[in-house]
Amino acid sequence: MTVDAVMEFRRRDARDKLTGRTRYTIDRAAPGMLHAAVLRAEVASGRLVTVDTSKAAALPGVRAVATAADAPGRFGIGVSDHSLFADGQVRYVGEPLAAVAADTPEQAQAALAAIEVAIEPLPAVVTMAEALAPGAPLVHPDWQDYEVLPVGGARAGNVAWEATVVRGDVDAAFARPDVTVVESTFRVGRQNHMAFEPRAVVARYEEDRFHIETSTQVPWTIRNATARFLGVPASQVRVTVPPVGGAFGLKFDVAIEPFAALLAKKSGRAVRLVNSREEEMLTCLFRENAEILIRSAVTSEGEIAGREAVVLMDCGAHGGEQIFLTTMTAHTLGGNYKLGAVRLATRAVYTNTPPNGAFRACNGVYNTFALERHTDEIAAAIGMDPLELRRRTVLGDGDLGATGQVFEGDVLRPMLDRMEALRARTTPHEVDDGRLYGRATTVGTWFVFTGPSAATVNMNADGSATLVTSGVEIGSGSMMQGLPQIVAATLGIRPEDVIVRQADTDAAGYDVGVGGGRQTTSLGAASLAAAQDVRAKLLAFAAQLLEATPDDLVMANGRIEIAGPNGKGFTIAEVAARAQAALGPIGGTGAATRTGVPSMPGCVAGHFIDAIDIPVFAVHDCEVAVDRDTGHVEVLNYRVVQDVGRALNRSAIGGQIQGGVVQGLGYALHEEVSIDALGHIRQCGFETYRVPLAGDVVPVEVDLFEGAPSLGPLGIKGAGEVPILNVGATVACAVANATGRRVQELPLTPPRILSLLLGREPDLALPHIQPAFADNLLRPHGPEV
């Protein structure tokens, strides 16, 4: 049966959000609730000599105090290197030392002030160059003792994880007589999500179980990580999630939940913990800073005979998401183009800085920046038009990706044509006002992070259906639009009549979480399967009532009828009610996980995903004007052609594209994070960290490209994550085009632009990346032995 779930359905949560009725986690309270606070280290590196809480515990109103002794466990996505409190060693400014719960927030703060702490300072490594220097102090001296997921990344000292790709003979490609070798270096800073709702939690301990109400994207990660930290069975942790006030990847990892849980257990009371904006800034789980060397051997015809790259990602004091993300170099920096031979090394590097994390399209954003600027430098080196070079070399049907996976369908090339048509609709902006004008078109490759999802659909006797999943509404609208549309279309009812249960790990099955564009695809696949299960049961029962076979029936517009004019039938509510009486309530379950597209044997080492199930492509284009006197870059217009597979809700996707592009403009131009020599993050709020304002932005022109192959349900792909992917790249290429200068770093703040224009920006040297590829590796590419 084919389901047509395409609708322009408006989100049901808008009204409450517009009238201030929505109750986010920060708006929640419980009777007798205590207020918690966390004491954090003020030095980047040191030996923890004492944390004495005895005076604090005796203060009025203080109900519970927790320290490292209460949380013996470790957790980590790839390597279990994260303890809840500093474990004898302090590794970053902001690392938790103790937590308290008191009757009032003021009493909790007073208790923090009364905790006596002694830290013996140790030398710190604040940059990746320092961390990789010979004899550098180790952020994790005991790195060899940590539990590791068995996927074979190389590790040693401050290299938390190293992933490699080798396909073909790269040395031979570089030695070819007919190639030009082009080498580029790039560096990017961190990006802060600035989600409006800070991380917040209300925890209870009841009937020997924790109940954690939290602002997260990953209820099951919270469940499992809390259990790991506290050393209790995961089944003792229940996680529920109210509407989330913005996330963008920030809330894709465990945060402050275990503190509140621990204090709730100790005090026997409900405990609320909310990060201040300063704490949010300090412990952001940023998009990481990175340094990249990329080198290509290219013929005069634009054929890329060989490519090699080394990517250094700063993971901060814990490996966290970066360990997983080393995988994504292969599919982003190694994406977009047909490559003869390729080798890539990605190293997640420990530093004594706050841990980094996930942020919308993660390292894809800066890898695309590096790849697209490099592509423009190649075009200049071989004297080819940059667009022509892209047209000739983008991945097409049957081409091999970096890891040897075979791509299906011609997608990027027709998308480039569509962009040309979109651009032709507007006239170029150039006026003679003394500014420098430039434009650029870039391409990008991202993916949908598939993986396990579960769904249950209960058919109610009143004709409505209840969808139960662990999905979370973080603002993207997937829970409000995409998922109810899929269920409604399958069951022939209105999307308004699909009730969507908020995430509760006690009610729904496991789910990886909301992020990576997976919500409408993975949860969508599970929801579709569950709804189809219900549909089949209802049709079978209705067929008996109507003395027909299920194949004779149509299920649409709230009715099940015999096909054909004036077909006899019933409302779905009637069928559901009768079925409930005769058989018991009708429900269905569905599950989905990744299918597993193969890579080429032997190509990858240390990867979590060898090949991508659902690639997503994007083509972006913009024009900029650069002010020579102020260094200000104005983005004049912006265009996106995005591969969406099939657009279930064009309005919802359009909103994601506008929002994602604008976040990317902030990243490209003015969102800057700097860390001082002592390991302090300098930006502490909205005043110092400059996000885009209404006056900064342009309306994005959008063309949705449909019909590319997709393993997603109903042919869809995730659409909310990818819009940010090539914004940094496109703005950087346009600025290089306007100024004729080599753009090697983001963000392009006015001071950086001015020094570029004045020729004061030195060529970016990365001495801690070795010139010979092999000298960068902990061990030669290959399986762990």
Partner 1 sequence: MPTDMTVNGEARTSARDPLTPLIDVLRDEFHLTGAKPVCREGFCGACTVLVDGEPTVSCLTPVAMAGDCDVVTIEGLSSCGLTDIQSRLEQGDAVQCGMCFPGMVMTLSHFLAHTPQPNRDEVRAALTGNICRCTGYERIVEAALAVAGGRAEGRR
Provide Rg for the chain, Cα atoms.
27
Q: Cα dihedral sign for 751, 755, 757, 761? A: negative
Amino acid symbol at 485: Q
Q: Cα dihedral sign for 744, 612, 317, 772? A: negative
What is the full DSSP assignment across 645-670?
ES-S-HHHHHHHHHHHHHHHHHHHHT
429 binds, among partner 1, ligand FES, none (CB under 5 to 8 A by kind): none
* Binding pattern for the stretch 698-717 against partner 1, x by CB under 8 A and - elsewhere: -xx-----------------
Interaction of residue 19 with partner 1, rule CB under 8 A = yes
Interaction of residue 109 with partner 1, rule CB under 8 A = no
219 binds, among partner 1, ligand FES, none (CB under 5 to 8 A by kind): none
* Of 68-76, 189-197, 598-606, 741-749: span binding partner 1 (CB under 8 A): 189-197
In the bound state with ligand FES, the residue whose beta carbon lies nearer, of 24 and 146, is 24
569 binds, among partner 1, ligand FES, none (CB under 5 to 8 A by kind): none
545 binds, among partner 1, ligand FES, none (CB under 5 to 8 A by kind): none
Interacting residue ranges for ligand FES, rule: CB under 6 A: 196, 246, 475
* Of 412-420, 623-631, 695-703, 742-750: span binding partner 1 (CB under 8 A): 695-703
Provide, rounded to whole angstroms, the least separation between the CB of residue 641 and partner 1. Answer: 17
If phi > 0 it is left, if psi is from -120 to 50 it is alpha, else beta; for residue 333 that is alpha
Provide, rounded to whole angstroms, the least separation between the CB of residue 152 and ligand FES. Answer: 40
Interaction of residue 670 with partner 1, rule CB under 8 A = no
Amino acid symbol at 527: S
Interaction of residue 780 with partner 1, rule CB under 8 A = no
Ranges within 226-265 binding partner 1 (CB under 8 A) = 243-248
User: Residues touching partner 1: how many (CB under 8 A)?
Assistant: 54
Provide, rounded to whole angstroms, the least separation between the CB of residue 434 and partner 1. Answer: 22
What is the distance between the alpha carbons of residues 14 and 687, in angstroms, rounded to a whole number?
29
In the bound state with ligand FES, the residue whose beta carbon lies nearer, of 244 and 389, is 244
Interaction of residue 30 with partner 1, rule CB under 8 A = no
Q: Which of 665, 663, 657, 659 is nearest to 703 (CA)?
A: 657
What is the distance between the alpha carbons of residues 376 and 761, in angstroms, rounded to a whole number?
19
Provide, rounded to whole angstroms, the least separation between the CB of residue 197 and ligand FES. Answer: 9
Interaction of residue 484 with partner 1, rule CB under 8 A = no
262 binds, among partner 1, ligand FES, none (CB under 5 to 8 A by kind): none
Interaction of residue 540 with partner 1, rule CB under 8 A = no
Phi and psi dihedrals of 379, rounded to 5? -55, -45
> Helix (H, G, I), strand (E, B), or coil: what is residue 682?
coil
Provide, rounded to whole angstroms, the least separation between the CB of residue 690 and partner 1. Answer: 10
Q: Hey, which residues does 47 pair with through a beta bridge?
A: 89, 120
Interaction of residue 496 with partner 1, rule CB under 8 A = no
Interaction of residue 655 with partner 1, rule CB under 8 A = yes
* Of 141-149, 525-533, 598-606, 660-668: span binding partner 1 (CB under 8 A): 660-668
Q: Which of 21, 114, 136 is nearest to 61 (CA)?
A: 114
In the bound state with partner 1, the residue whose beta carbon lies nearer, of 90 and 273, is 273
Interaction of residue 31 with partner 1, rule CB under 8 A = no
Amino acid symbol at 202: V
In the bound state with ligand FES, the residue whose beta carbon lies nearer, of 61 and 246, is 246
Q: Which structure tokens are listed for 346? A: 């990605």
What is the distance between the alpha carbons of residues 222 and 214, in angstroms, rounded to a whole number?
9
What is the distance between the alpha carbons of residues 635 and 743, in angstroms, rounded to a whole number?
16
336, 395 in Cβ contact below 8 A? yes
Contacts 24+ apart (CB under 8 A), 211-214: 211/238, 211/240, 212/237, 212/238, 212/239, 212/240, 212/257, 212/260, 212/261, 213/25, 213/28, 213/239, 213/240, 213/241, 213/242, 214/25, 214/239, 214/240, 214/241, 214/257
Residues with Cβ within 8 Å of 142's Cβ and at least 6 positions away in sequence, in order, are none
Residues with Cβ within 8 Å of 144's Cβ and at least 6 positions away in sequence, in order, are none
Return the residue of 78, 438, 444, 475 that touches partner 1, per CB under 8 A: 475
Interaction of residue 652 with partner 1, rule CB under 8 A = yes
In the bound state with ligand FES, the residue whose beta carbon lies nearer, of 694 and 772, is 694
In the bound state with partner 1, the residue whose beta carbon lies nearer, of 282 and 317, is 282
Q: Which structure tokens are listed for 140? A: 């994790």
Strand spans (E) along 34-107 = 34-40, 46-52, 62-67, 74-75, 82-83, 89-90, 96-102
Interaction of residue 13 with partner 1, rule CB under 8 A = yes
Provide, rounded to whole angstroms, the least separation between the CB of residue 484 and ligand FES. Answer: 20
Q: Which H helix or E strand runs over 574?
A: helix 572-583
Interaction of residue 477 with partner 1, rule CB under 8 A = yes
Q: Which structure tokens are listed for 243? A: 């509407």
HSE-CB for 5 with a 13 A CA cutoff: 29
* Residue tagged 């080196």 (tokens): 381
**Given the DSSP bridges, would you call strands 465-468 and 453-459 parallel, antiparallel or unpaired?**
antiparallel
Provide, rounded to whole angstroms, the least separation between the CB of residue 194 and ligand FES. Answer: 9
Interaction of residue 197 with partner 1, rule CB under 8 A = yes
663 binds, among ligand FES, partner 1, none (CB under 5 to 8 A by kind): partner 1
In the bound state with ligand FES, the residue whose beta carbon lies nearer, of 280 and 561, is 280
In the bound state with partner 1, the residue whose beta carbon lies nearer, of 23 and 429, is 23
Q: Which H helix or E strand runs over 376?
A: helix 364-382
Provide, rounded to whole angstroms, the least separation between the CB of residue 17 and ligand FES. Answer: 8
* Of 144-152, 330-338, 614-622, 679-687: span binding partner 1 (CB under 8 A): 679-687
240 binds, among ligand FES, partner 1, none (CB under 5 to 8 A by kind): none
Provide, rounded to whole angstroms, the least separation between the CB of residue 456 and ligand FES. Answer: 29
Q: Which of 657, 462, 741, 717 is nearest to 578 (CA)?
A: 462
In the bound state with partner 1, the residue whose beta carbon lies nearer, of 624 and 662, is 662
What is the distance between the alpha carbons of residues 278 and 779, in angstroms, rounded to a whole number?
41
Go through 76-114 and write b for each residue having 16 or more CB atoms within 10 A of its CB, e for each that does not. bbbbbbbbbbbbebbbbbbbbbbbbbbbeeebbebbbeb
The residues binding partner 1 (CB under 8 A) are 10-11, 13-24, 26-27, 193-197, 243-248, 276-277, 474-477, 651-652, 654-655, 658-663, 685-687, 691-695, 697, 699-700
